[in-house]
Structure 1
């Protein structure tokens, strides 16, 4: 599996994930223009700014820029993205941040096939700097300390085991290396949060998204031995702009607009979570 091949059964996927990122091909939906598959970072986009595909793509690029920047200086670094999808963020990292190499890991073989097709020129033109590998967040096919930075953008809401993810992230990042994760989580672990979200958003009802509290991730990272763990709520830069974009495609009262509702009800928020592995003694 370490060579990125797709032979054999591979890691097990939950059915909703297998369908959404396989035959349904979420990356082809107009709401995710450009193929990044994230809600976007809309800070600096005024309420009166007309939104088109260019603005939408930029919002998704800007979310990656926030996460990659939180990973620290990437010049000459070996970077792993967990849940890379079509690899658009991997390509952006190579083009703008100057890492030595970027590895995109995803659990879904069809996503990896699409990523290789989308970046055929980059793979051929800069051999050794980009690769796509199949693996699960809780079972990564890499050696200890293989990466300087581990990032994940809007994938952690799908991870079935945050403890396993945190342990693997801590294992594959080198001493002194950094971890940066962006995704949406419940604001607390109050009873009934999962049911509230399932009633608002079918992605939770079907099991595509999991109602993890943000403290579950920060606690898992700390338990894995990582330090300087910090979770910063960044919903102000995400939710309103995301809802404005959704309004182009979805009417008021339709379920995708309930992401903003969940935020306003203080059920759900978007977070940038960072951590660091201690230097070797």
Structure 2
């Protein structure tokens, strides 16, 4: 685990920061939110829930299936998946033991009422502690930018998927392999400068999924429904020119975008 990841998700509970209202830690999918008027905390929570729905909808029908979230954080996305998509079991996996402790506390009631339907396990994206073909879906929401080795993750995702299973990843990547993207991102965004986030082209992900033996690898930009809403939410808390507001800037200048990336293990 890199130091930046350990420190960011360690003693201080990032999910308690007001910008991540509701315990989710993602920028949000804002299509259903009216950005012209005041944005409420309920709007913010819905944006983050809708990001999960974008990913889970892309995974296909999940009723009765076994699914795993890689980088589950507080586990509130796992709870949403269990509640709304009716899988047989949701496994939340995270590399950070303190995050898993928080996830078990936050979902204690659900773990007690549905012990066979929800579990939390420690593991790395590059070396998952699961058997071959254990899951019908591997998904990840805004964690892939932290993964040490994206190629190893795609190989592991392919390994733990059953034939016909799907992998779906939502995160932010550079739109192409221009080597200058990384330096520009680091100059505008602290998370890239300190190594928490890693600049990678989205084509690296789709190509790696294909090389791992998965089919129909594709990346769909959802940036127009992410960056404007995120910046609008931040505008009441952060002044223009402060670094969190620069996510919209780097998107507009073509250095970063937000994607839903998916592929299928052939039957």
**Which bracket does the TM-score occupy, shorter chain normalised?**
over 0.9
Distance 1:248 1:159 in 2: 31
**For residues 99-118 of structure 1, what are the structure 2 equivalents within 5 Å?**
99-118=87-106
Give deviations 1:233-277, integer Å, cap 9, x for gaps.
110110000000011210111000000000000110000001000
Structure 2 residue 16 is matched with structure 1 residue 35: no
Q: 1:124 matched to which residue of 2?
A: 112
**For residues 229-244 of structure 1, what are the structure 2 equivalents within 5 Å?**
229-244=217-232
Q: CA deviation at 1:25?
A: 2.1
Distance 1:215 1:125 in 2: 42
Residue 57 (structure 1) aligned to one of 45, 49, 65: 45
Runs of 5+ unmatched residues, structure 1: 1-12
Q: 2:121 matched to which residue of 1?
A: 133
Structure 2 residue 141 is matched with structure 1 residue 153: yes
Aligned residue for 2:163, secondary structure, equals: strand
Aligned residue for 2:176, secondary structure, equals: coil
Aligned residue for 1:180, secondary structure, equals: strand
TM-score, structure 1 as length reference: 0.94
**For residues 1-281 of structure 1, what are the structure 2 equivalents within 5 Å?**
13-279=1-267
Runs of 5+ unmatched residues, structure 2: none
Distance 1:273 1:85 in 2: 20
Q: 1:7 matched to which residue of 2?
A: none
Distance 2:59 2:179 in 1: 33
Aligned residue for 1:274, secondary structure, equals: strand
Q: CA deviation at 1:24?
A: 2.8
TM-score, structure 2 as length reference: 0.99
In the TM superposition, structure 1's runs of 4+ consecutive aligned residues that sit over 6 Å from their partners are none
